[in-house]
Amino acid sequence: MAENNSFFVDGKNLSKEALERKHKLENDPSSRTNHMEYMPGMEVIESDICDKVMSQMDSYDYTKYTAVDVRNALNHERCTIEDFKALLSPAAESFLEEMAVKARMETSKHFGNTVYLFTPLYIANYCENYCVYCGFNCYNDINRLKLNLDEIDREMSVIAKSGMEEILILTGESRAMSDVTYIGEACKLARKYFRMVGLEIYPVNTEEYKYLHECGADYVTVFQETYDTDTYEKLHLLGHKRVWPYRFNAQERALKAGMRGVAFSALLGLSDFRKDALATALHAYYLQRKYPQAEMSLSCPRLRPIINNDKINPLDVHERQLCQVLCAYRIFLPYVGITVSSRESKSFRDGIVKIAATKISAGVSTGIGDHESKYTGKEDNKKQGDEQFVINDERSLDTMYDDMQQAGLQPVLNDYLYV
């Protein structure tokens, strides 16, 4: 892909050749590479997890479940995979209040009334992928920026002064502009300021995850986006992200490399959300049994508006359906962390942390290099990179902390000690 770097890393001023390539990718499926074949340099691992997940998802017919199946699932002390399928089905929508009660009991049993707070830090928005729904995609005409190490240090210092102790470092998916060494140096800086360091970057090989762990990263988040391989192919037209199986196995490579935890997610609204929710949870479920020492987390963000969006309209996933998915997650996997991002509204997040969610973001910016101005209130004339998507809940850490306390919850900034 080296021949395309001139326009991969900057969506502005696309050449005629680039525009023609973009049009061809969108309209001629034969011009795209096979999304199920690994590219050179991608590590292949032996694992049966994918087969297990996809077998369950492909055979899932949620229309066959009835109110009796849902009632039985709620009455069982232990939620089986079959019970979980019933709880995700349309038949369970009329049982949402009962599901919420059971989910709240499980959350209280395993997490008490705690809610964990973190903030994301985007350090670069260059990307080599063409994913039609993402604001960072290589063809999108946005302001691109990569923070240097001094700028990363300054952003982290500002965030740490707010009291935050957990940070999630994010980049666009470009090895050319955000290589593993650069991300590793960001992890080393983060370790100076924060007790928990997470990564949400492009998938890498096991040895690279090992290096990032040695630099200070604790856990890795990877959005599969959708587990439906046919839909995935139509949405990811170019770049390393197009390779569905390499992305699927990212969490397992991270665990093999020594990461303490991994997080899973589908972007609800790209495909059939019930099947995507099933696959997401089963991905964590099967890996938990293979790596029992690992911490597992789930999230289920919905599509949000992006700059210059004219290619994708989200399938309907309303708040009531999102609540159903989250309650089903909690009942099926009572021990996992569940994160609800700032994509969702203040009222929804305030409600769901009392029921099923255990972690929320605060003081969020999905742009590049604007935490200093956002946190201090000072005008900043420095160049800033455009955001990945538009957030919904813009509360600061202090506001979020106070809101959680007033709701009778115990906000937690960190509970992990290094020994």
**Position of tokens 């890498």?**
204
Instruction: Say what the pLDDT of residue 271 is.
Output: 93
By percentage, how much of the chain surpasses pLDDT 70? 87
- What is the 8-class DSSP label of residue 262? E
Per-residue pLDDT, averaged over 397-403, amounts to 91
CB 143 within 8 A of CB 191: no
- The residue with tokens 């963000």 is 301
CATH class of 111-412: alpha beta
Which of these, 106, 358, 64, 347, lies nearest to 98 by C-alpha position? 106
SS3 418: coil
The dihedral built from the CA positions of residue 82, 85, 87 and 90, taken in this order, carries a sign that is negative
Q: What is the model's pLDDT at position 2?
A: 36
Question: Distance between CA atoms of 247 and 258, rounded to whole angstroms?
Answer: 18
Q: Region 262-273: what's the mean pLDDT?
A: 94
Tokens of 325: 């998915």
- Model pLDDT, residue 1: 35
Which residue stretches of 33-179 are H helix?
A: 49-58, 67-75, 81-88, 96-111, 149-161
Largest CA distance in the chain: 62
- DSSP, residue by residue, 271-291: S-HHHHHHHHHHHHHHHHHHS
CB atoms within 10 A of CB 156: 23
- The model's confidence at residue 5, banded by pLDDT at 50, 70 and 90, is very low
State if pTM tops 0.85.
Answer: yes
Where helices occur in 270-407 by DSSP H, the ranges are 273-290, 319-332, 346-352, 371-376, 397-406
pLDDT for 7 equals 43
Q: Say if CB 355 and CB 104 are below 8 A apart.
A: yes
Domain positions in the chain are 111-412
- Quickly state the pLDDT bin for 418 (edges 50, 70, 90): low
**Amino acid found at 120:** P
Ranges 97-111, 225-239, 363-377, 394-408: which has the least confidence: 363-377
pLDDT of residue 315: 62
Q: Is 136's pLDDT higher than 80?
A: yes
**Which residue matches tokens 């969020």?**
364
Residue 305 confidence (pLDDT) above 90: no
Mean pLDDT confidence for 256-274: 95
Residues 6 or more apart whose Cβ sits within 8 Å of residue 363: 119, 159, 162, 164, 371, 374, 375, 395, 396, 397, 400
Question: Cβ(374)–Cβ(127) under 8 Å?
Answer: no
Rounded mean pLDDT of 212-238?
Answer: 97
| Residue-averaged pLDDT of the chain | 89
Q: Give the residue from 177, 224, 216, 211 showing the smallest Cα distance to 9.
A: 177
Q: Which residues contact 353 (CB under 8 A, 6 or more apart)?
A: 115, 340, 360, 404, 407, 409
pLDDT range class, residue 308, cuts 50, 70, 90: low
- Statement: residue 4 has pLDDT above 50: no
Considering only residues 7 and 357, tell me which one the structure prediction assigns the higher pLDDT: 357
Q: Is the dihedral of CA 57, 269, 132, 248 positive or negative?
A: negative
As a whole number, mean pLDDT of residues 15-29 equals: 88
CA distance 133 to 307: 10
Residue-wise burial string across 129-150, b where 16 or more C-beta atoms lie within 10 A, e elsewhere: bbbbbbbbbbbbebbbbbbeee
pLDDT at residue 57 tops 90: yes
Task: Calculate helix-pair angle for 67-75, 96-111, nearest 10 degrees.
Answer: 20
Model confidence at 216: pLDDT above 70: yes
Q: Which of 2-16, 39-53, 89-103, 323-337 comes out lowest in average pLDDT? A: 2-16
Contact 277, 268 (CB under 8 A): yes
- Nearest in space to 131 (alpha carbons), one of 306, 283, 293: 306
- Which comes out higher in pLDDT, residue 265 or 317? 265
* Number of other residues whose CB lies within 10 A of the CB of residue 361: 24
Residue 401 · residue 411 · CB < 8 Å: yes
Bridge partner residues of 30 (DSSP): none
For residue 224, name the pLDDT band (cuts at 50, 70, 90): very high
Nearest in space to 362 (alpha carbons), one of 135, 107, 159: 159
Beta-strand ranges (E) seen in 335-419 are: 337-340, 359-361, 410-412
pLDDT at 287 over 90: yes
In this prediction, residue 385 carries a pLDDT of 55
**Predicted pLDDT at 290:** 97
